[in-house]
Amino acid sequence: MPKKRIAFVVNYFYPDLASTGQLMTELCFDLIEDFDITVIAAQPGYAGETVQTKKRYEVEYLENGIKVIRIKLPSVKKTSKWSRIKYITSYFIFALIALIREKNIDIIYTISQPPILGGLIGTIGKFFKRKKHLYNIQDFNPEQAEAVNYTNNKLIYKFAIKLDKLNCKYADQIVLVGNDMVETLKNRFKKGNVPNYTVINNWINENEVTPLPENTDEIEKFKEKYGLRNKFVVMYSGNIGLYYDLENIISVAEQFTQKDIIFLFIGDGAKKKELEEYVNNHRLENVMFLPYQPKDFIKYSLNVGDLHLVVNQKGIKGVSVPSKIYGVMAVGKPILGVIEEGSEAERLITKSRSGVVVEPHKYNEIVEKITYFYKLNKNKRSEIGLRGRRYLETYLTKELSITKYKKILKNL
């Protein structure tokens, strides 16, 4: 029996450093034995890489047989709305053209990136090619944009919500990445039938990303290089973007005068420059910024943190799940979740007992909780963090999630 052929239209893909790109890469690599896979993605550029090619489309075949169609797009300045719109629109047009050109497809797999248009590619492709469409919603938009007042134009919001409702309505299967997102989907369809959906958590490769001893060579060299020896490291690792309130949370660092506390931000995003300016203007010596680390080094860099921040802006509950939580749980480090009660991340922290949770905008409480972990015995901190690792190994493994995808795709 011939394999089903799936076209993944996913924007970010190997070797891009975006978290969704890494997830989609691992998913495709694990599905290739059961399916023929074509990936339509942008040329790598999430972390500011420069693309040398002049061709609009470049096709390559990876060693495992995956066909990748890479699209050259305009460079994006994440602090500029116009630059984002130009990039997103270009991706939508050229990815849709690439999809329509592809022959012998059985299933179209899209994700909710770029917002709304990612799903629309699948909707148009479904009817144009008369194929099945699986819509993976990593973030609900325009709800996410509304939560941070990205636009106050009500007409744009109403149009956008109607458009993405159509994407959901006509999808043959929706995959949500958090249990709290179910309510958001149901709220969209109060007066009609809720589309077919299932919840499949995102993941980290728990066999690669593990708790490591402090004296691991790579960890010691990293600490030595950046002056982190004998420091209590409060780490945020991931997208320094619009949906995390980091521009306000960073003010917490001013409250700590201890010389051995360092706030370490690893990553990039639309708010990074604003955070750096705040640190310079306030002459904060206990805050450090580093770029995204290579994928194969994350297992070391995450282990450097003594306490990890997992944060979301107020209003994001049921809209998005911070994927960084899986990496923190994998390395067995305690979590300070600045997230809303009832959110997926809050549920994971509470059930695993791997940290504490503070409601967004409660900055004094954030100070109190950091102080609590700072004063805590090192063995006790380790015990709390390792609870998250054990929970991950039981309920959130990569194999569990990918097995669910395989079952859905085979039955679609």
133 & 242 share domain = no
Positions of E strands within 51-193: 57-61, 67-71, 107-111, 132-137, 173-176
| CB of 314 closer than 8 Å to CB of 287 | no
Res. 46 pLDDT band, cuts 50 70 90 = low
pTM over 0.85, yes/no? yes
Res. 47 pLDDT band, cuts 50 70 90 = low
Rounded-to-integer distance, Cα 147 and Cα 317, Å: 10
Q: Phi, psi (5° rounding) for residue 348?
A: -65, -45
User: Which segment of 156-165, 171-180, 297-306, 363-372 scores lowest on mean pLDDT?
Assistant: 156-165
Task: Say if residue 1's pLDDT is above 80.
Answer: no
149 & 198 share domain = yes
Pairing of strands 173-176, 197-199: parallel
Task: Say if residue 192's pLDDT is above 90.
Answer: no
β-bridge mates for residue 265, sequence order = 236, 289
Length of the chain: 412
Total domains in the fold of the chain: 2
Residue 50: CA atoms inside 13 Å, Cβ hemisphere, count? 1
* Rounded alpha-carbon distances, angstroms, from residue 185 to 46, 174, 181, 197: 29, 10, 6, 9
Question: Which two tokens mark 151?
Answer: 């636009």
236 & 197 share domain = no
Q: Which stretches within 285-377 are classed as H helix?
A: 298-304, 324-330, 344-352, 363-375
pLDDT of 48 reads 52
162 & 262 share domain = no
Range of the domain at 89: 4-203+397-411
Per-residue pLDDT tens for 134-180? Answer: 999 999 999 988 887 777 778 888 999 999 999 999 999 999 999 99
358 & 377 share domain = yes
163 & 113 share domain = yes
Rounded-to-integer distance, Cα 28 and Cα 375, Å: 44
Is position 242 within any domain? Answer: yes
173 & 260 share domain = no
CATH of residue 133: 3.40.50.2000
Res. 116 pLDDT band, cuts 50 70 90 = very high
252 & 275 share domain = yes
Question: Which two tokens mark 115?
Answer: 């917002």
388 & 401 share domain = no
Pairing of strands 307-311, 335-338: parallel
Per-residue pLDDT tens for 242-293? Answer: 888 999 999 999 999 999 999 999 999 889 999 999 999 999 999 999 999 9
Task: Say if residue 50's pLDDT is above 70.
Answer: no
